[in-house]
Amino acid sequence: MKRSLASNQSNVVASLRWALVLAMLAFLLCATTACKEHHPIPVLQGSEYRDLVEKYRGKVLLVNVWGTWCDPCLEEMPDLVAAAKQFKPEEVAVILIAADSLEQREKAIPEFLKKVNATFPCYVQPPGDPQGLIDAIDKDWGGELPYTTVYDRQGRRIYGKAEQLDKAGFAKLMTNALNSK
């Protein structure tokens, strides 16, 4: 009888170990981008923008505001992805802000980003009037798209303009910011 009890306890412990291993694997799988695609893209309020920029202090930060309905935005995104790959992630970060409706964050935004291999953090503008976010990004910006702004390693904004860029243009902005003192 003792042997049977000890054997049952061993089986229970082994089962618990396997359950723990499976739970850990499920967690790790959910932490990958495949799981993240099923979660909505977060809304970025104007009041949160400065904290987001501060989070990247020590790196060059390029923020690109775009929209799934904006042809120049869609045209430049592959160039942004290609230019960003030229830099070490420890040195340069890219954040995307989609000027789309909340409905687009479930399907249209993630589908386009996946299509162009854009793995950058992405946010969506707040519903209703986005003026608070526009002003937080650049009080002189009128909301035209595409819009790119760049911060140096100290968190100082060194570039901000509404214009379509190509791979060389994005790379030049990031290089200039890396060399900024």
Residue 168, domain member (yes or no):
yes
CB 141 within 8 Å of CB 46: no
pLDDT tens-digit series, residues 151-165? 999 999 999 999 999
Domain identity same for 142 and 167: yes
Domain identity same for 123 and 84: yes
Domain identity same for 104 and 22: no
15: tokens are 């089962």
Supply the range of the domain harboring residue 166: 46-179
Of 149, 174, 180, 147, nearest in space to 50 by CA = 149
Q: What number of other Cβ atoms are within 10 A of residue 121's Cβ?
A: 15
Between CA 181 and CA 158 the distance in angstroms is 11
Domain identity same for 17 and 85: no
Cβ neighbors of 99 (< 8 A, separation 6 or more) are: 65, 66, 67, 70, 125, 130, 143, 145
Residue 156, domain member (yes or no):
yes
Instruction: Supply the CATH number for residue 57's domain.
Output: 3.40.30.10
Of 68, 47, 75, 74, nearest in space to 137 by CA = 47
pLDDT tens-digit series, residues 88-138? 999 999 999 999 999 999 999 999 999 999 999 999 999 999 999 999 999
For the chain, what is the domain count? 2
Domain identity same for 126 and 58: yes
